[in-house]
Structure 1
Amino acid sequence: MMPLIAKPGEEGGLGLTNLQIGLLSSGLSLTWALSGMAVGPLSDKLGSRKPIVVIATFAFCACSMLSGLAGSFLLLLGARLLMGIAEGGVMPVSHAMIVSEVEPKHRGLAMGVGQNLGSNLLGSTAAPLILVPIATYFGWSLNGIFPLFMATVPAERVDPRLTASLTGVVLGLGEVIGGVGSPFLAGALADMYDLTAPMWLLVVLTLVALVASMFLRDSSPALSSPR
């Protein structure tokens, strides 16, 4: 949907540069990260998680609709900053709820469904098939009424009482590095060189992640010990 927003000649488009598009992604990820790191510990301390998830979900939907009404870059950026604040409160807390409510033997399945049903099956597969034609024929702003969000699965290797806190920290760090820095850098590279530059950036980051993953070790004695 971002290319439709960026087209200067597109009816209802904002004529954004690649750098501005990168800032829209970076801004959301920044507030998402900060919110996740703040709301996770708060929910662990209060012990009341469901109200936080419900309020944050409704807030995210409202902010998504506001983004569809934005008529300028600054208004759209503000809406996405608010979306990040709301979304950051959903993920750590919802996964902490799964950890506390689901038996350990079914926890992996529950985490997989929680992550992939909404984000990958609906958000990454179904949403583009539905939203791109809508944006093409009716304008990109109408898609603001179809908010879909993803959630990243926390591991079952921590104290359930601290799940939301630690998940918020992990997601927050990931968002700061990948969600804040990468879109900003990708947009700047696209403006400086061409649209293939962000693709090469993705290749480099993927290789770095691949190498780093080779050094991961399971730190849970209960799960790493022979059975």
Structure 2
Amino acid sequence: MTRTERIAPRRPYTAPPQGGHYQYVLLAVLFATFGFVFFDRLALNYLAPYWMPELGLDHTALGLLGGIPSLTWAISGLLLGVVSDRIDRRKPLIIVCTIGFSVFSALSGFVGGLASLLLLRGIMGMFEGGVLPLSQTLMMFSSSEKRRGLNMGLLQGSSAGLIGGIAGPIVTVAMAEAWGWRSAFFFTIVPGLLMSLLVLLFVRELRLRGGGAGAGAAGMLPPTSAIPVAERPVTFAQALRSRNILLCMFIAVFFITWFVTTQTFTPSYLAETRPDWSGGEVAFALTGIGVGWVLWGAVVPAFSDRFGRKLAIIVFALVAALAPVLIMRITSPGLLFVAMALSYTGMGCFTLFMATIPAETVAPHVMASCLGLIMGVGEIGGGFVAPWIGGMIADAFGLDATFWMCTGAALVVVVLALFLRETSPIAARRHGVAVDGAPRS
């Protein structure tokens, strides 16, 4: 025992509670934190009609800039997922990530060209990438079984939609119109620093390797799932051979292609093809995406709790395939707002293949690593490579061709989802399938 430990003995670790009041506190803090991750990430897209002419950049550059955070997200998501599993700590990493992405998002307001913008957005993505796998691991173990999918969906889907998809275009476009596009980037540091303080004060540390009340010698009990505990991979190498993990990685590539490429080019597409629309009308139409994001971010995971994760992805990916087509065909701001709100169902699926299904498939102590891996592979293929290719396609054949690429990507997801193994415990019980894992709460 060290001298410090003799003076101030270490407090015994107590695991955060499952269900009850704490799950709502945790959801509120992580909801806001991840929401501002997307506020910062999507600000570049919403402000594209302002900074592209000033910096003299084309669609290929826009696609590259939209994709570079995805590349660095991928790297940091996987690395921090593995690190958190190794050191068995999550809260301090979330705080560091939140401070970091806020600072580098704000620094984007000082850029003078493509190189500096690429550098700053890339570093910002390095800090952002760890927030989701770490947050979803916390949310998974503190949610009651009946709210697991819903809580994780609100955290990942609805938060990004409300703060990044609805507030994002309204606030950033208004600030760009009033004080210039750089002011919107400067603003992003304020909410990020506030969120890091809330995490520090209200989020409790989660350790999965033992020491918590009721955890036993092996650590936290695995969550309930239709997959028996004995069949869940217990090492990262075993997880890489799991059918669900492999399918979720491929689904991530194509669904993130649908999302990031559509999201990157829609503001520019509307500005170029709807010259009679004002900046306010474009922003209003774009908030329809945010409304759909919020709505389906809650509805799809809740649907999956009752009727199955697999069915939810198949049904709502089919609907999501319509969104790029509607963007090309609808010429009224009001109608486009409604169409986006009703067809942007894909954002509710993200929680399922990036968090809930893998978390219900593998052992707890490799969970964050697997979540980081799926997010990382998806962000590289769908978030970095796809929008870059989409930009080159747009410059060569027009933006319509890029949007057709997005529709095709969503249809590939439908096919891949057919081969998933169901994990929802509630859906399994409804079909008379045995469920294994921790007791229900």
In the superposition, the TM-score normalised over structure 1's length comes to 0.88
Which of 5, 11, 22 is matched with 2:63 structurally?
22
Residue 164 in structure 1 maps to residue 368 in structure 2: yes
Distance 1:197 1:128 in 2: 25
Distance 2:401 2:158 in 1: 32
Measured against aligned partners, the alpha-carbon deviations of 1:172-225 in whole angstroms (never above 9, x if no partner) come to 111112101111011111111222221121122122222222332325789746
Shift of 1:39: 0.6
Alpha-carbon distance change, 120 to 182 in structure 1, aligned in 2, over 3 angstroms: same
Partner of 1:146: 188
Identity of aligned residues (%): 35
- 1:196 maps onto 2:242 in alignment: no
Question: For the structure 1 residues 52 and 140, does the alpha-carbon distance in structure 2 shift closer, same or farther, using more than 3 Å as the test?
Answer: same
Structure 1 partner of 2:139: 98
Amino acid at match of 2:51: I
Provide the C-alpha distance between the structure 2 equivalents of 1:204 and 1:80, rounded to a whole number of angstroms.
28
Match of 1:3 among 35, 49, 54: 49
Equivalent residues of 1:99, 1:160 under 8 A apart: no
Identify the residue that residue 61 of structure 1 maps to in structure 2: 102
The answer to whether the Cα contact below 8 Å between 1:189 and 1:197 also exists between their aligned partners in 2 is yes
In 2, Cα distance between the equivalents of 1:160 and 1:15?
49
Aligned equivalents of 1:91, 1:217: Cα separation in 2: 23
Q: 1:10 aligns to what? A: none
TM-fit CA distance, 1:169: 0.7
Pick from 372, 379, 384 the counterpart of residue 175 of structure 1.
Answer: 379
Where 2:55 maps in the other structure, the secondary structure is coil
Shift of residue 133, structure 1, vs aligned partner: 2.2
- The total of aligned residue pairs comes to 222
* Aligned twin of 1:216: 420
Question: Whole-Å Cα distance in 1 between the matches of residues 177 and 129 of structure 2?
Answer: 30
Distance between the aligned counterparts of 1:134 and 1:181, measured in 2? Answer: 31
- The whole-number CA distance in structure 2 between the counterparts of 1:85 and 1:173 is 14
User: Which of the residues 146, 156, 162 maps onto 1:121?
Assistant: 162
TM-score, normalising length from structure 2? 0.47
Question: 1: distance between equivalents of 2:172 and 2:51?
Answer: 13
Report matched runs for 1:104-115 at 5 Å: 104-115=145-156
Mapped to 2, the partners of 1:221 and 1:109 lie a distance apart of 14
Task: Give 5+ residue unaligned stretches, structure 1.
Answer: 8-12
Q: Which moved more, 1:134-143 or 1:93-102?
A: 134-143
CA contact (8 A) 1:22 1:183 kept: yes
Cα distance between partner residues in 2 of 1:122 and 1:42: 29
Structure 2, unaligned stretches of length 5 or more? 1-46, 193-292, 294-346, 434-441
SS in 1 for 2:172: helix
Q: For 1:134 and 1:196, how far apart are their aligned partners in 2?
A: 29
d(CA) in 2 for partners of 1:69, 1:188: 27
Contact map agreement 1:100 1:160 (CA 8 A) in 2: no
Find the residue that maps to 2:56 and give its secondary structure: coil
Indicate the residue corresponding to 2:255 in structure 1. none
Larger relative contact order (Cα-Cα within 8 Å, sequence gap ≥ 6)? 1
In the TM superposition, residue 37 of structure 1 has moved relative to its aligned partner by 0.8
Cα deviation digits, residues 31-70 of structure 1 (max 9, x gap): 1001111110100111111000011011000010011221
Does the 8 Å contact 2:132/2:156 carry over to 1?
A: no
Q: Which amino acid aligns with 2:422?
A: D
Contact 2:81–2:134 (Cα < 8 Å) also in 1: yes
1:86 aligns with 2:122: no
Counterparts of 2:424 and 2:86 in 1: how far apart (Å)? Answer: 24
In structure 1, what is the equivalent of residue 279 of structure 2?
none
The answer to whether the 8 Å contact 2:140/2:148 transfers is yes
Aligned to 2:199: none
Deviates more, 1:18-27 or 1:144-153: 144-153
Displacement of 1:127 in angstroms is 1.4
Which residue identity does 1:212 align to in structure 2? L
Asked if structure 2 preserves the Cα contact closer than 8 Å seen for 1:19 and 1:188, the reply is: yes
